[in-house]
A and B are shown apart, each in its own frame.
Chain A
Amino acid sequence: MSALESADPLHFSESRPLTLGVELELQLFNTRDCDLTPVASDLIDLIERQSHAGDVKPEITQSMLEISTGIHDRHDALLAELQSVRDTVVAAADRLNVLVSGGGAHPFQHWSERRIFDKPRFHQVSALYGYLAKQFTVFGQHIHVGCANGDDALYLLHAMSRYVPHFIALAASSPYLQGVDTAFDSSRYNAILAFPLSGRAPFVLRWDEFRTYFERLRALGVVESIKDLYWDIRPKPEFGTIEIRVCDTPLKVETAAALAIYAQALARRILAERPPVTEDVYLPYGYNRFHACRFGLDGELIDPMTRTRRPIAEDIGATLDTLGADPSAPESEPAFAVLRRMIGGAGNDAYWMRSTYQIGRSLPDLVFRQAERWRGRG
């Protein structure tokens, strides 16, 4: 590969198909009133004093921390790394009297109080988006799935879009926002939809066509880099992956790992069976996505190909049954078991949050319990 090619930001780097990487955006709050607290740089300072698994980075605000894993193929190794980096973060946070948790949005933070992290790109984002940038203190899980080439990546991206409601519903963990129950299981997703370049990718299946599309956007001055696209699933040519971005950060790393393995298993089957994909896959897309955000696992999903409709939980169950039969990945079974428990009555994290709120009837108390759950208790 020539130096020229690798300097080209739109060159799709080859990566081993079906490898996984996970990024989780975490919330940081003080123990006094459980509101978000701008402590990311102090926390990173402390964490970086010793070597540790995973990677820890600042995000757009000081009250957000991003952790990410290396590249994995197997559930056990992925989960072990997530648990290890979680433990590192929690140990450091304990020393600073900071609580850490998952969850798609802080239940009662007021966006105007958030401080934007001191880094030039973040200041640009903040200047451009105004109140949206601060309202964008929402916390998501991003799943990277490795692809052999750009054409495969685009095909997988569009074929995978049918399952976007699954990911939204399983990961939903932002029922409360600005102190109220939003009635949505994932309110975070609505905040993201406010951005001009959010939503779905254009229906383009060949990488050179995608390049042309992107170059035209760039020529118009709409975007500068792939980073400006806030799509539900976007290609990440630099890593050679597609990145699924619709998940709220789950309240436990076990759920995060299970979601990643689910994405891997879906991708494995799609790439093996190569079902035909047409733009029709997007006909019910907005409807399905809304249902997943609003009603979570109880929402309704319309299958664009078979034209059937059924509850999302049922659709996930049927999908898991077919995936579970795959003999090539028996080690993924524990991850599927996590998801089966959720659709079998345990519910998603939004459901857990609503039931937990009933115990204390105080949102700070809920936040505290979320942090306990993140630690692996409760």
Chain B
Amino acid sequence: MDTLFFLPSWPPQVGSLTMAALVLLAALVAGEIVQRIFKLPRLIGWVIAGAIYGPSATGLLDAEALHDLQFVMHVAAGLVLFEFGQRIDLGWLRRNPWLAGTSVLEATLAFVAVFLILLLLRVSPPVAAFAAAIAMATSPATVMTLARDLRASGQVTQRVELLTALDCAYAFITIGVLLAWFHAEYHGDWVVMAAHPLYLIFGSSILALLAAAIARPLLMRLDAYGDVQRVCAFALVLIAVALGEWLNLSSALVLLGFGASLRALDDRRRFVSLDFGPLGQIFLVLLFALSAAALDLSIALAGAITGIALVAARYAGKYVGVVLTSRVSGLSTRKGSLVALGLMPMSAVALVFVHETVTVFPELARGLLSVLVPALVVLEMAGPLLARFAFVRAGESAAWA
């Protein structure tokens, strides 16, 4: 018999929670190293630590572990999108309609530029369209983390935040519409083609409104208790994410809409500074690390040229859109060009959401990843640096002033 039963078993059993803790620890340490020694944004360290853990590198996190931790990424992305939704200020768009013009123009131009360049590189039209839709979006997690670390505030920061939030909404709506096209392309089922995107877009909006209608009175009654309000909001976001997944809706749209509706309903500005504090920070770090771990780095090398072309086309589209409309929307051209740089971040977080959709069309998955992953690898590194440059150059960073 096992007489040494009291000794630990070997190899050790590492549960997913422990694994998450190990990733978190490594990412935090890497973040500090990168920030203190190399003077780079912390989140680059989080990304590097995640990539090292991932199956493409050491494999400490294998595909199975990543799958187990997927819910962490969904929750984390939900928290970020909820916070970003709160930054969609419809009043500003009404008072400065040119800003809405900027937003539509830069997103459209980025879509068109990326779509055309990918077609030129002989990528199939559905894959090119899907990739272009994702490329419209700027990474809200990156923008939020940078703005917070730099304590940035001002026109460039505020416009980057607003455009990022709107870009995310456009991207997810476009993805919904594109789904219709894919249904026709792959299944030829016209009922599904019409119904699926409608269900996705309207279902998500309705769920978002309902969540906000329930959250508002609840959060208002808790306002005197500080952290209680914050934790309660956290729980509500978790529930909204779970509902979105169960209903097969777009969690991204649900959470963006939840945040935006809550802000619109907050006539007394009681949630104005509603964020998730250290709790949110834990999820944010894990989000960057885990999504980076999931990147298949071998694809990145193979598609380097496509990736760089995509990044360049995306920048060109956003730059032209923002700079053309910057003076009429009340900002100098110089600051307009900084806004365009601030919109550069794109992160593997985008894949977290696309993953759900792509699984419906396994035919697409491989093509899409081969186009997107190289671009993501470039922008995981370059995006934060460009955006930081933009905030600092605009004189809006308190930390670097």
Q: Which positions 20-43 of chain A face chain B at CB distance < 8 Å?
A: 30-35, 37-39, 41-42
> Interface stretch among B118-126, B232-240, B329-337?
B329-337
Is A198 interfacial (CB 8 A cutoff)? no
Q: 1/0 per residue A84-128: CB within 8 Å of B?
A: 000000001011110000000000000011111010000000000
Q: 1/0 per residue B303-332: CB within 8 Å of A?
A: 000000000000000000000000001111
Contacts of A361 in B (CB 8 A): 223-224
- Once bound together, how far apart are the Cα atoms of A283 and B205, in whole Å? 69
Q: Which of B89, B91, B155, B270 has the most CB of A within 10 A?
A: B155
Binding site for A on B (CB under 8 A): 86-87, 89, 91-92, 95-96, 151, 153-155, 158, 223-224, 268-270, 272-273, 329-332, 335, 395-396, 398, 401
Is A364 interfacial (CB 8 A cutoff)? yes
Is A223 interfacial (CB 8 A cutoff)? no
Is A332 interfacial (CB 8 A cutoff)? no
Closest B residue to A114 by CB, please name it: B398
Residue from A30, A46, A94, A368 within 8 A of B153 (CB atoms)? A30
Is A365 interfacial (CB 8 A cutoff)? yes
> When A113-B151, A118-B395 are in contact, do A31 and B273 touch as well, CB less than 8 Å?
no
> When A34-B272, A38-B153, A42-B331 are in contact, do A362 and B96 touch as well, CB less than 8 Å?
no
Contacts of A46 in B (CB 8 A): 330
Given A42-B331, A114-B398, 18 new contacts (CB under 8 A)? A30-B158, A31-B91, A33-B273, A37-B158, A42-B154, A42-B155, A45-B332, A46-B330, A96-B330, A97-B158, A113-B151, A115-B401, A116-B401, A118-B395, A360-B269, A361-B223, A364-B269, A368-B269
- Once bound together, how far apart are the Cα atoms of A120 and B192, in whole Å? 66
Contacts of B272 in A (CB 8 A): 32-34, 362, 364
Contacts of A92 in B (CB 8 A): 330
B270 x A365 contact (CB < 8 A): yes
Tally of chain A residues near chain B (CB < 8 A): 31
B332 x A94 contact (CB < 8 A): no
B395 x A62 contact (CB < 8 A): yes
> How far does the Cβ of B97 sit from chain A's closest Cβ, in whole Å?
10
Closest A residue to B399 by CB, please name it: A113
Residue from B89, B223, B269 within 8 A of A97 (CB atoms)? B89
Closest A residue to B155 by CB, please name it: A42
- Once bound together, how far apart are the Cα atoms of A41 and B331, in whole Å? 10
Contacts of A114 in B (CB 8 A): 398
- Once bound together, how far apart are the Cα atoms of A364 and B267, in whole Å? 11
A38 x B395 contact (CB < 8 A): yes
> When A38-B395, A46-B330, A113-B398 are in contact, do A362 and B223 touch as well, CB less than 8 Å?
yes
> How far does the Cβ of A10 sit from chain B's closest Cβ, in whole Å?
36
Contacts of B158 in A (CB 8 A): 30, 32, 37, 97
Closest B residue to A36 by CB, please name it: B153
Contacts of A37 in B (CB 8 A): 153-154, 158
A sample of 29 cross-chain residue pairs with beta-carbon separation below 8 angstroms, ordered by A number, consists of A31-B92, A32-B87, A32-B89, A34-B269, A35-B153, A37-B154, A38-B153, A38-B396, A39-B155, A42-B332, A42-B335, A45-B332, A46-B330, A62-B154, A92-B330, A96-B155, A97-B95, A97-B158, A112-B398, A113-B153, A114-B398, A115-B396, A115-B398, A360-B268, A360-B270, A361-B224, A362-B268, A362-B272, A364-B272
- Once bound together, how far apart are the Cα atoms of A362 and B335, in whole Å? 33
- Once bound together, how far apart are the Cα atoms of A42 and B155, in whole Å? 7
Binding site for B on A (CB under 8 A): 30-35, 37-39, 41-42, 45-46, 62, 92, 94-97, 112-116, 118, 360-362, 364-365, 368
- Once bound together, how far apart are the Cα atoms of A114 and B399, in whole Å? 10
> How far does the Cβ of A169 sit from chain B's closest Cβ, in whole Å?
29
> How far does the Cβ of A32 sit from chain B's closest Cβ, in whole Å?
6
B89 x A362 contact (CB < 8 A): no
Closest A residue to B401 by CB, please name it: A115
A39 x B154 contact (CB < 8 A): yes
> How far does the Cβ of B327 sit from chain A's closest Cβ, in whole Å?
9
> How far does the Cβ of B155 sit from chain A's closest Cβ, in whole Å?
5
Closest A residue to B275 by CB, please name it: A33
> How far does the Cβ of B271 sit from chain A's closest Cβ, in whole Å?
9
Residue from A30, A34, A94 within 8 A of B96 (CB atoms)? A94
Contacts of A30 in B (CB 8 A): 153, 158
Nearest 8 CB-CB pairs, A to B? A97-B92, A95-B330, A365-B269, A33-B272, A94-B95, A95-B96, A33-B273, A364-B272
Closest A residue to B156 by CB, please name it: A42
Closest B residue to A360 by CB, please name it: B268
Closest A residue to B329 by CB, please name it: A95
A38 x B91 contact (CB < 8 A): no
- Once bound together, how far apart are the Cα atoms of A62 and B158, in whole Å? 15
- Once bound together, how far apart are the Cα atoms of A364 and B223, in whole Å? 13
A365 x B330 contact (CB < 8 A): no
Q: Which of A46, A94, A95, A365 has the most CB of B within 10 A?
A: A95
- Once bound together, how far apart are the Cα atoms of A368 and B87, in whole Å? 16
> How far does the Cβ of A151 sit from chain B's closest Cβ, in whole Å?
46
Closest B residue to A112 by CB, please name it: B398
- Once bound together, how far apart are the Cα atoms of A115 and B400, in whole Å? 10
Contacts of A97 in B (CB 8 A): 89, 91-92, 95-96, 158
A364 x B273 contact (CB < 8 A): yes
Contacts of A113 in B (CB 8 A): 151, 153, 398
B268 x A365 contact (CB < 8 A): yes
Contacts of A32 in B (CB 8 A): 86-87, 89, 158, 272
- Once bound together, how far apart are the Cα atoms of A33 and B86, in whole Å? 11
- Once bound together, how far apart are the Cα atoms of A32 and B395, in whole Å? 19
> How far does the Cβ of A74 sit from chain B's closest Cβ, in whole Å?
34
> How far does the Cβ of B346 sit from chain A's closest Cβ, in whole Å?
24
Q: Which of A62, A114, A362 has the most CB of B within 10 A?
A: A362
Closest B residue to A108 by CB, please name it: B273
Contacts of B335 in A (CB 8 A): 42
Contacts of B153 in A (CB 8 A): 30, 35, 37-38, 113
Residue from B89, B154, B224, B270 within 8 A of A31 (CB atoms)? B89
- Once bound together, how far apart are the Cα atoms of A33 and B92, in whole Å? 14
Contacts of A116 in B (CB 8 A): 401
